[in-house]
Amino acid sequence: MFQKILIANRGEIAVRIIRACRELEITTVAVYSEADRDSLHVQVADEAVCIGPAPAQDSYLAMDRIIETAKKTGAEAVHPGYGFLAENPEFARLCEDSEIVFIGPASQSMELVGDKIRSRQTMEKADIPIIPGMKEVHKNIADYANEAKKIGYPVMIKASAGGGGKGMRIAYNADELMPGLEAGKREAKSAFGNDSVYLEKYIEEPRHVEVQILADNFGNTVHLFERECSIQRRHQKIIEESPSVALDPDLRYIMGETALKVVKAAGYNNAGTVEFLLDKNRNFYFLEVNARLQVEHPVTELVTGIDLVHQQLHVAAGEKLALKQSDLKQKGHAIECRIYAEDPDNQFLPSSGRVLYLKEPHGPGVRHDCGIFSGCEVPIYYDPILAKLIVWAGDRDMAIRRMSEALNDYVILGIKTTLDFLKDVFAHPEFKNGSTTTAFISRYFDDWSERSGSEENRKIVAIAAAYDSLQNVHIRTGKHGEQELETSPWLTLGKWRMGRG
Amino acid sequence: MFQKILIANRGEIAVRIIRACRELEITTVAVYSEADRDSLHVQVADEAVCIGPAPAQDSYLAMDRIIETAKKTGAEAVHPGYGFLAENPEFARLCEDSEIVFIGPASQSMELVGDKIRSRQTMEKADIPIIPGMKEVHKNIADYANEAKKIGYPVMIKASAGGGGKGMRIAYNADELMPGLEAGKREAKSAFGNDSVYLEKYIEEPRHVEVQILADNFGNTVHLFERECSIQRRHQKIIEESPSVALDPDLRYIMGETALKVVKAAGYNNAGTVEFLLDKNRNFYFLEVNARLQVEHPVTELVTGIDLVHQQLHVAAGEKLALKQSDLKQKGHAIECRIYAEDPDNQFLPSSGRVLYLKEPHGPGVRHDCGIFSGCEVPIYYDPILAKLIVWAGDRDMAIRRMSEALNDYVILGIKTTLDFLKDVFAHPEFKNGSTTTAFISRYFDDWSERSGSEENRKIVAIAAAYDSLQNVHIRTGKHGEQELETSPWLTLGKWRMGRG
Amino acid sequence: MEFTFLIENKPVTVFLEKKDGLYYYTQKDGEAVEVDIRTISPNVFSILIEGVSHRIYLTKDGEKYYSCCNGRHFVFLGSSGDDDEAFTRGEDRSLEDMLIVKAPMPGKIIQINVEKGQQVRKNQTLAIVEAMKMENEIKAGVEAVVKKILVKNGDLVDPEKVLIELEALDNT
Amino acid sequence: MEFTFLIENKPVTVFLEKKDGLYYYTQKDGEAVEVDIRTISPNVFSILIEGVSHRIYLTKDGEKYYSCCNGRHFVFLGSSGDDDEAFTRGEDRSLEDMLIVKAPMPGKIIQINVEKGQQVRKNQTLAIVEAMKMENEIKAGVEAVVKKILVKNGDLVDPEKVLIELEALDNT
């Protein structure tokens, strides 16, 4: 096993990887941008090196700086997390050339699966069902109109190098194609440094079901069953669960086996995810391979009991896969939701600023993968994911109840987040009964607006604020003020209160 | 299922029960003493009623007040947690008489198993192996000397109504018997309001292995395997795990079956624990039935996936047990440690006062059942348990690693706790290799003293404190003081800093 | 003492006083009710009213309160007594506000979709701001005419920066 | 500026200064080393020294610091410069301290096991204090003679309350 690795990421995923490393007694090196000196991943790592200014292209995407830092600190391997350089074959190759282990697939297979067009071709040859769509990327934007006509509207515009919903657009007709292509290309360029996009038949109201796989460097593979990730907004997953309510044991078996065929066809190693669309008639289509640890990997961990980051590290260190397919079982039900710094009451616009107060949820079956803390600054430069809340329970109904209670126990003050929105999603009867297609959010939550609830709530909050003011007034008028303060136990609570004088 | 229940307890267990109730959509009523107005269980309950002054006999042990409060608030049932009234058959009977469901065994079987002497007699008749010892409680203290001689030294003095190590003393010879009896009686009186004690053969260096059981009101029973609780100090458990390293599948099967025989012999219902001593030669002896939810119940929950408090509530509501023995499996390994307000560097003397800062540990596989928060007061009146840290991992080695890292991630400032002591226990090679008999702590940790570690640590802390002072000095001299404060983002962090003026 | 807060665009007035160590609140013409309120730790308050327990999280940034109560977050305004303007603004600002199109968050202008003098319909995209790697469409809140465009492509904008000024249509 | 703290009974002196926005520390005769130190949130500091990251939790109650660093908790004393007595006390108090037997925590005296004038051996139980439902034996830290008993059975005692005074044996 490695002695020391570098984590080329930030936020909750960097923290989660550092935790896994500690458990395997691996020393960790964090890298950070100038905007992230105070970030959690810098605090929890054993070592930390600043690699450049705030914009990602100058820091978290600065491949040379990262390789150089790995060499200088003696890190034997680099874990890329998700996003940033996680699916950049050039970076994987740079690592290989520098004799630093890239914790992920080999550059070659990453290149194959990362190119959506080539991977579609490969999978078609391997008899994997795929969605009708373009077989190559066109230079000429006019050719896209012809392709779209051939495929038949609606079509989906997708970034060739993409992931995470970035660069994705739907065109329901020819008028919508050009604006969608432009926006998609711009976003793709900005997100991945590559503006190639392609078109696919848009399957309406499908479910998004993906299969987690693990493969070692010796051709041994297992799958860890499915995750259902249909609850999306703007093609970005917000809620994921395992198992999927849409699968029965037969379909689960077939999709798992198909995922392993995909892995073999791509010569893929390390952890990865095979994404499928599942239509109303239970046909499934290969979408793509996500050549990385997924945001939603914890739901798989909770139902299988396997720590995917540990597995990644073992496999990357050249160990043989210790898991056998027959030993793997799904137990109970896990759900994850992503907490974003977005204002759901205002078109989900990003919300940056300072987290003035954070209360993390706790309790049996509750896991909180978190990248923030009371007082942290949420910068505008990076993905707005703050944390992930994941619950496990014996069955789906109890998992939903548990999630709702955990969300009720979760407080973030100072910036807008998706917490209250998520509460309403989990409370929706159609979510509870499992009608969770990709159309769910736009159908039921298009016009969502914040309902803080009752008059009672407003009264209670007003009383608390009045009480707070009343105490400050006392202090200001000096009536009982200073005296009250002196006897307050809070004076001893850290330097902030001590700094009063 | 119940609509509303009352929780007749405080601290982490009250909070844990309230959480379980919320998940089952049961409204909760907390009761609290005058010392506990600001306690966590009062904050998280739906309703809260003050039932008397700080001393437990005037509040948490005031049966009439609690019954009255249940009636007044419309609570249909009372959950006693552990300690306090949990194993008081008089209270259980009072509930029964008031047509309030007591969430625990019926008073009759509680009485039987709560009387250590009677339960030994019952079990002997049912062919359950028991430890040689007194068959009845004597009035005359001189008779104990004869009994001790008959049994053979060393003997164990145990409270007849006891639990939690209270009132327990070992006498290695006749000289030690009288002082031990006196101390045991005093402690028993103070803890349980009953000073009956009895003697048992003291088995040296045994393991303490207990079996969790569940029984409904219709005679259906299951066991949820064992917990090993041998790591004790002053006969009080401090670390518990499941499974036990000392059992193989055969012994596990036999002990599980024996536990179910005990349950049937006692006519026991609801959740309970059958305690056994396991000697070096793998003989096991029935010790007693703990007629309550145990402090250490979470380790069973983590390896079986069953929520024991949910089960208690279902069974108490008159539902049939939904679990079948054949469906129950142990998966992975769970360990719990108890965080006490005690100073391990000073004979584990209780430490009360204010928690000036709390950082709760987080991470995959980490559960923290917690009764405290930053700023809470730890009163002297009650049991010094602050919280429990429980981890789950695929195997015991990883569970120990995970526990160590979670402890490293756990900060309590302002009072002395057992955190650092526990870290050293988990780091001990004999703990790692599973040599965990009840003699473990006295053998390896008798002379433990705080080692904050390296000169490096002292230097780092000194730098932080110097930095802190430097900033305060600036403020005091007014040099850059006010200005720095004004631009500090922390000014917005709550009323404390706003109260400066 | 009387306190008024603007919560969810509704003014909420409570009268809170301390008598013999106990707190009492009154609302409107109601009777005084005892409230057992405690500061639990910085930013956390516990309130018991007639046996019902509430935990309130509260912090303040200037005039703005950030709060969470019974599982719901809100941001609201407080009145210091001498600044009731915020309240009037709070209730009547909607139309005026919709004519002043601001950057809702810090980001980069990557497209301006309208021209000066152009008539726009409600929800028409006026500009696109990129932040946190996502494109965010800035839409018209009301049917109007574009009066002024104050930014250009590539501009980095701060939150609350005015991007575009609109003018109400004559017939509205 | 020079700071001395008494940590684990050892005085630790650091010299910390700010130059051009950066902090430097020096220990003993060593060279000045840059330290990147930041206040992360109340009671939490992050320190980077030559690439190594430390998270320090620190709070203060009067003279006493409570701290946790790299997974170890410590309580220590600070010097304000004009109160160096604490330091001397800190190092030399052991014997003197052991003769003054105090209640280590609040509780109730439930038994006094010695009498005035009685000679006691090291670790002999002098009294039993009950707190948090547990009996706690108060033991002699040193061989000595009982000089004064200041409490009786049933007394409620505060922390640091003197229970018994001992006198050193002549021959020690």
Torsion angle of C-alpha atoms A108, A111, A112, A118, degrees rounded to 10: -140
The catalytic site residues of B sit at 292
Q: Higher model confidence: residue D123 or residue A404? A: A404
pLDDT at C129: 84
| Domain spanning B210-444: CATH 1.20.1440.120 | no
Q: DSSP letter for A203, please.
A: P
List chain B residues with CB under 8 Å of A468: 495
In degrees and rounded to multiples of 5, residue B411 shows phi and psi of -130, 130
What average pLDDT does the segment A277-303 reach? Answer: 95
Distances (CA, A) of B220 to A419, B252, B269, B270, B321: 42, 20, 9, 10, 7
Residues D39 and D107 in one domain: no
Residues D23 and D62 in one domain: yes
Confidence of residue A499 (pLDDT cuts 50, 70, 90): very low
Q: Do A457 and C72 touch (CB under 8 A)?
A: yes
Mind telling me how many Å the CA of C121 is from chain A's nearest CA? Answer: 18
- Of the candidates A252, A292, A338, A402, the residue annotated as catalytic is A292
From the list C14, C71, C75, which residue is nearest A466 (CB)? C14
In degrees and rounded to multiples of 5, residue B225 shows phi and psi of 70, -170
pLDDT digits (tens, 9 = 90+) for C6-18: 888 788 999 999 9
C50 touches chain B (CB under 8 A): no
- Burial state string for A355-376 with b = 16 or more CB within 10 A and e = fewer than 16: bbbbbbbbbbbbbbbbbbbbbb
D56 touches chain A (CB under 8 A): no
CB < 8 Å from B in window 111-170 of D: 128, 130-137, 139
**Among C58, C89, C120, which residue terminates a domain?**
C89
CB < 8 Å from B in window 19-38 of C: 36, 38
- A neighbour chains, 3+ CB pairs within 8 Å: B, C, D
Question: Which of C10, C63, C67, C98 would best serve as a mutation to test chain A binding (most A beta carbons within 10 A)?
Answer: C67
- Residue with the two structure tokens 């047509």: B99
Task: Report the range of poorest mean pLDDT among A58-72, A184-198, A408-422, C21-35.
Answer: A184-198
Q: Higher model confidence: residue A244 or residue A497? A: A244
Domains B4-103 and B210-444 share a fold: no
Q: Do A166 and C134 touch (CB under 8 A)?
A: yes
Alpha-carbon distance of D114 to D130, in angstroms, equals 17
Confidence of residue D135 (pLDDT cuts 50, 70, 90): confident
Mind telling me how many Å the CA of D156 is from chain B's nearest CA? Answer: 12
ipTM for the predicted complex comes to 0.85
Domain boundaries, given as residue ranges, for chain A? 4-103, 132-201, 210-444
D45 touches chain B (CB under 8 A): yes
pLDDT digits (tens, 9 = 90+) for A316-340: 999 999 999 999 999 999 999 999 9
Among positive and negative, which fits the CA dihedral C104, C107, C111, C117? positive
Q: Do C53 and B48 touch (CB under 8 A)?
A: yes
Which CATH number characterizes residue C82's domain? 3.30.700.30
Of B346, B460, B275, A435, residue with least CA distance to D129:
B346
Residues D35 and D100 in one domain: no
pLDDT at D17: 92
List chain D residues with CB under 8 Å of B494: none
List chain A residues with CB under 8 Å of B370: 362
C14 touches chain A (CB under 8 A): yes
Q: pTM higher than 0.80, yes or no? A: yes
CB-count burial class (<10 Å; 0-12, 13-18, 19+) for B118: middle
Does the structure show a pLDDT above 80 at A474?
no
B500 touches chain C (CB under 8 A): no
CATH superfamily of A132-201: ATP-grasp fold, A domain (3.30.1490.20)
Which CATH number characterizes residue C125's domain? 2.40.50.100
Alpha-carbon distance of D129 to D137, in angstroms, equals 6
Reading the block at residue A210, the tokens are: 């993906």
Question: Which of D132, D137, D156 would best serve as a mutation to test chain B binding (most B beta carbons within 10 A)?
Answer: D132
Mind telling me how many Å the CA of D158 is from chain A's nearest CA? Answer: 18
From the list B350, B451, B457, which residue is nearest D131 (CB)? B350
Chain B and chain C share a number of CB contacts under 8 A equal to: 57
Name the strand (E) or helix (H) holding B405: helix B396-408
Question: Which of A21, A43, A498 would best serve as a mutation to test chain D binding (most D beta carbons within 10 A)?
Answer: A43
The DSSP secondary structure of A446-474, one letter per residue, reads TT-------HHHHHHHHHHHHHHHHHHHH
Which amino acid is located at B220 in the chain? N
From the list D39, D44, D51, which residue is nearest A73 (CB)? D51
pLDDT at B450: 75
Alpha-carbon distance of A407 to C61, in angstroms, equals 24
Topology (CATH level 3) of domain A4-103: Rossmann fold (3.40.50)
Q: Check: CB of residue A465 under 8 Å from CB of residue C78.
A: yes
Q: Do D41 and A375 touch (CB under 8 A)?
A: yes
- Residue with the two structure tokens 């392709």: A147
Q: Higher model confidence: residue B479 or residue A148? A: A148
Alpha-carbon distance of B396 to B31, in angstroms, equals 39
Mind telling me how many Å the CA of B24 is from chain A's nearest CA? Answer: 8
Reading the block at residue A178, the tokens are: 């050009």
B373 touches chain D (CB under 8 A): no
Q: Do B499 and A471 touch (CB under 8 A)?
A: yes
pLDDT at B424: 95
Mind telling me how many Å the CA of C55 is from chain A's nearest CA? Answer: 9
Alpha-carbon distance of B86 to B7, in angstroms, equals 11
pLDDT at D80: 52
**Among C69, C89, C109, which residue terminates a domain?**
C89
pLDDT at B163: 65
From the list B46, B374, B493, which residue is nearest C41 (CB)? B374
Could you tell me where the DSSP H helices lie in B24-99? Answer: 40-44, 63-73, 89-97
pLDDT at C103: 79
What average pLDDT does the segment A444-464 reach? Answer: 86
Q: Check: CB of residue B370 under 8 Å from CB of residue A362.
A: yes
Could you tell me where the DSSP H helices lie in B232-307? Answer: 249-266, 297-304
From the list A42, A373, A498, which residue is nearest D41 (CB)? A373
What average pLDDT does the segment D19-35 reach? Answer: 89
Q: Check: CB of residue A376 under 8 Å from CB of residue A39.
A: yes
Residues C154 and C116 in one domain: yes
pLDDT at A120: 87
What average pLDDT does the segment A129-145 reach? Answer: 85
D40 touches chain A (CB under 8 A): yes
Of A230, A235, A224, A225, residue with least CA distance to A279:
A230
Confidence of residue D133 (pLDDT cuts 50, 70, 90): low
Q: Check: CB of residue B324 under 8 Å from CB of residue A324.
A: no
What average pLDDT does the segment D163-168 reach? Answer: 90
pLDDT at A490: 32
- Burial state string for A6-23 with b = 16 or more CB within 10 A and e = fewer than 16: bbbbbbbbbbbbbbbbbb
Q: Do A46 and D52 touch (CB under 8 A)?
A: yes
Nearest residue in chain B measured CA to CA from D65: B465
What average pLDDT does the segment A153-174 reach? Answer: 83
Alpha-carbon distance of B106 to B214, in angstroms, equals 14
Reading the block at residue B1, the tokens are: 């299922």
Parent domain of C162: 95-168
Question: Which of C41, C66, C67 would best serve as a mutation to test chain B binding (most B beta carbons within 10 A)?
Answer: C41
From the list D42, D51, D55, which residue is nearest A496 (CB)? D42
What average pLDDT does the segment A27-36 reach? Answer: 97
Q: Do C73 and A413 touch (CB under 8 A)?
A: yes
Chain A and chain B share a number of CB contacts under 8 A equal to: 125
Strand partners for A462: none
From the list D40, D42, D52, which residue is nearest A38 (CB)? D40
pLDDT digits (tens, 9 = 90+) for B412-460: 999 999 999 999 999 999 999 999 999 999 999 988 887 756 888 999 9
Chain A and chain D share a number of CB contacts under 8 A equal to: 56
Considering chain C, what is the average pLDDT of its residues?
Answer: 83
Residue B146 CB contacts under 8 Å (≥ 6 apart), including other chains: none
pLDDT at B81: 98
- C neighbour chains, 3+ CB pairs within 8 Å: A, B
List chain D residues with CB under 8 Å of B382: 132-133
Alpha-carbon distance of C118 to B447, in angstroms, equals 84
Q: Do A307 and B394 touch (CB under 8 A)?
A: yes
Alpha-carbon distance of D41 to B374, in angstroms, equals 14
Q: What is the pLDDT along chain B (501 residues), one digit of tens a residue?
A: 999 999 999 999 999 999 999 999 999 999 999 999 999 999 999 999 999 999 999 999 999 999 999 999 999 999 999 999 999 999 999 999 999 999 999 999 999 998 878 888 899 999 999 988 887 788 888 889 999 999 989 999 988 876 666 778 899 999 999 999 998 888 888 877 888 888 988 888 899 999 999 999 999 999 999 999 999 998 889 999 999 999 999 999 999 999 999 999 999 999 999 999 999 889 999 999 999 999 999 999 999 999 999 999 999 999 999 999 999 999 999 999 999 999 888 788 888 889 999 999 999 999 999 999 999 999 888 999 999 999 999 999 999 999 999 999 999 999 999 999 999 999 999 999 999 999 999 999 988 887 756 888 999 999 999 998 888 654 333 333 333 333 333 332 332 322 222
List chain D residues with CB under 8 Å of B356: 43, 59, 61, 66
Confidence of residue A29 (pLDDT cuts 50, 70, 90): very high
Residues C61 and C100 in one domain: no
Residues C101 and C74 in one domain: no
Question: How many domains would you assign to chain C?
Answer: 2
Residues C155 and C130 in one domain: yes
Q: Do A383 and C132 touch (CB under 8 A)?
A: yes
Considering chain A, what is the average pLDDT of its residues?
Answer: 90
Does the structure show a pLDDT above 90 at A345?
no
D52 touches chain A (CB under 8 A): yes
Residue A443 CB contacts under 8 Å (≥ 6 apart), including other chains: none
Q: Do A453 and C72 touch (CB under 8 A)?
A: yes
pLDDT digits (tens, 9 = 90+) for C49-96: 999 999 999 998 877 899 999 899 988 988 655 445 545 444 444 577
From the list C36, C39, C41, which residue is nearest B373 (CB)? C41
Q: Do B498 and C46 touch (CB under 8 A)?
A: no
Q: Do B494 and A357 touch (CB under 8 A)?
A: yes
